[in-house]
Structure 1
């Protein structure tokens, strides 16, 4: 069943984060190497698509939003590939190209729909001057945005994330963050964090049931001055926690197990679009659950 989406064509989103290119080599497993007993794959075709923050922007563009994407890349073909693909979806690529750096690439080699190996080409962005430049780019665009999405894959782009959150709050727009790492204090003051269950439990410890999950989540909200927390739980759906409101558990639209990181990119793009269009957080979560269910069924999830 197709989903009737709201009209997002008047929505402006600002997406900032770790920009990547996901590259897939598909092939057939032809033999085993006699030298070291590893599989030999004959490459058949290549697929390239946006990853990380670029994947968030891509899905927001698919919804019909006008998207401004800010992030770091190199002076390379991969940056041009991303620009070309994203511009077709109404995404303005405001790439800050840094000499001596390359665009982050995640290369996956697959055979018979199974991933055999992943090779990461990456180097953390540490140039202080470039981080200040990124903030300057944000300041030029923030007043036009209906929501700010910060996509954190721990590659260095969001080094000044505290200042980015403050900037979003200054303009009174929702600040949504897909978090990474073990230091959630960096996200203090955000409107909404969207960790998956694994990321959440790395911070709060294992949760044996929904009661423990809710208690741990509410403590996290209190400790870091958040407005809300959405925990994506793969086949168990999503759990929305807010101050002063009853926890909302949204069942998954499909029981197929999927990569929660790839699904998280879709979830946060729909949330940002829906909130920027004036829908409530509850309505936005239900909509994102519906959309991600359809995306999973159509095999359009690309993990990072």
Structure 2
């Protein structure tokens, strides 16, 4: 597997079409039973709105740095507006079509002490007339994308999916479908369908043995004009089946917290990896790994390129270049991590020649939280601070080396003369939970400390490893 292709994630251009939803969560504590009925009383203390259905597929794609658009139906209501605003924050190009006669599909969950007490669904089934609106919009935006993912939740948005697939294939697009209908002929022309075992059985699939399963899958895709099937098999992993081959992928041995949205992650990751230029087998292998990561999280979670890169090396023992988040995307990735409730740690430095002191210091910094951001002085800044012979290594190479460390999640450059070569402005943009600095500083001497403290964060000073410094390394080399 060529992990260098992870550099191409941002080149993938994917349109998601399907049933979009607004997932609403009301959290609170329960301490008594209602006097009106034998039901618990929940004192709501927190509200949360998330993109659901096909919108969650688009969210998964966006968080893998691909370009993504979302085409679906919403009502002319508050829920539709909330969903539109969520998409803006997720870097998803909204192609949502509003209809006046039906509501935005919304699902409200009341949760107490990590237990769902009730779910309230607000939805009506969209008609073929509504689906025609999507078909018309699809024809207008197809040229902007190379891949089309259809996310079918049987809510009516894809009533005309057969025609939609035909249009997409006529313009040379690669089509992936997460199917809900047992009539697979509706998906004729698709390059990949991703049913689970239950959906496979409803479509007429047989699972008596591996040979029977493979033969049955081949008969179904051949009969219905589909090129390949990625069958998700729960604890048995996944199987990629086409007319000639069957590749099995074992489920990742991770603690399962919640399987919600795992199917969305699978098809999203598969599309992104194909869009990055990976071979189908490799793309499925990474999609399988992504599924293993998200089921270890609570709720409809997502996976980041950094997580995938680390897990690929850890679980699959693959040698390759570590994924380095493009500088322009780092702030967005940090915001995603904050939305997940992760603690952000920030530190900074030149890191011109990485040595043992740096590695130990960065590991200590990472131990303070969930994610470590390293602000890296740019080349001009180092020259001003260290002299005309520095840096020894240019910015891009220093960033690659730092990104390869298990302790470092993101690297982002800073250092203008106007800012006195300090990361103060960058720290204000990131607003980390914990600011770490190495050396003999006092808190009032650390750039950005006042901002972090003012916003409820912490500032810590760590000691460097005695005898280790870049200057000493350079001096020894010169000798």
TM-score normalised to the size of structure 1? 0.91
CA contact (8 A) 2:165 2:187 kept: yes
Aligned to 1:284: 283
Contact 1:234 1:257 in 2 (8 A): no
| Other-structure match for 1:243 | 243
* SS of residue in 1 equivalent to 2:262: helix
**Preserved contact between residue 196 and residue 261 of structure 1 (Cα < 8 Å):** no
- Matched with 1:116 is 117
Do 1:146 and 1:277's aligned partners in 2 also have CA atoms closer than 8 Å?
Answer: no
- In structure 2, the partner of 1:63 is 64
| Number of equivalent positions | 299
Distance apart, 1:57 and its partner CA: 0.6
2:148 is matched with 148
Unaligned runs of 5+ residues in structure 2 are 303-479
- Counterpart of 2:32? 31
With over 3 angstroms needed to count, the CA separation of the structure-2 counterparts of 1:127 and 1:203, relative to structure 1, is closer
Counterparts of 2:256 and 2:234, CA distance in 1 = 7
Q: Does 1:179 align with 2:191?
A: no
- Counterpart contact for 1:196–1:260, Cα < 8 Å: no
Q: 1:163, 1:288 → 2: CA distance?
A: 28
**1:189 Cα deviation from its structure 2 partner:** 1.8
How far the C-alpha of 1:261 sits from its partner, in A, is 5.7
Deviation of the 1:25 alpha carbon: 1.4
Higher mean C-alpha displacement, 109-118 vs 160-169? 109-118
> CA 1:51 to 1:61, structure 2 compared with 1: closer, same or farther past 3 Å?
same
Secondary structure in structure 2 of the residue aligned to 1:85: helix
2: CA distance, partners of 1:257 / 1:205: 27
Mapped to 2, the partners of 1:44 and 1:179 lie a distance apart of 37
State the match for 2:80 in structure 1: 79
Separation of aligned partners in 2, 1:139 and 1:210:
40
The structure richer in strand per residue is: 1
Per the alignment, do residues 29 and 205 of structure 1 end up closer, same or farther by CA in structure 2, a change over 3 Å counting? farther
In the aligned structure 2, how far is the partner of 1:31 from the partner of 1:201? 44
Of structures 1 and 2, the larger Rg is shown by 2
Deviation for aligned residue 1:48: 0.9
Q: Does 1:165 align with 2:165?
A: yes
Structure 2 distance, partners of 1:236, 1:257, is 14
CA distance in 1: counterparts of 2:181 and 2:35, whole angstroms: 40
User: For 1:205 and 1:175, how far apart are their aligned partners in 2?
Assistant: 22
TM (normalized to structure 2)? 0.59
Partners in 2 of 1:115 and 1:206 — Cα distance?
A: 34
Q: Distance in 2 between matches of 1:257 and 1:219?
A: 33
- 1:200 matched to 2:200: yes
Give the gaps of 5 or more residues in structure 1.
none
Question: In 1, are the aligned partners of 2:205 and 2:217 still within 8 Å (CA)?
Answer: no
Q: Distance in 1 between matches of 2:212 and 2:19?
A: 32
Residue of structure 1 in register with 2:468 after alignment: none
Alignment correspondent of 1:210:
210
Residues 1:301 and 2:326 aligned together: no
For the 8 Å contact 1:60–1:269, the answer to whether it is kept is: yes
- Residues 260 and 294 of structure 1: CA distance in aligned 2, closer, same or farther (over 3 Å): closer
Matched residue SS, 1:78:
helix
Match of 2:100 in 1: 99
- The offset of 1:56, in angstroms, is 0.6
Which residue does 1:273 correspond to in 2?
Answer: 272
Secondary structure at the counterpart of residue 111 of structure 2: strand
| Structure 1 partner of 2:309 | none
Q: Structure 1 CA distance, aligned partners of 2:279 and 2:197?
A: 23
Distance 1:221 1:205, change over 3 A: closer
Residues 126-145 of structure 1 aligned to structure 2 (within 5 Å): 126=127, 128=129, 130-145=130-145
Superposed CA offset, 1:74-102 (max 9, x none) = 11221222222212222111111101211
1:89 is matched with which residue? 90
Whether the 8 Å contact between 1:252 and 1:289 is mirrored in structure 2 is yes
Change (3 A) 1:200 1:29: farther
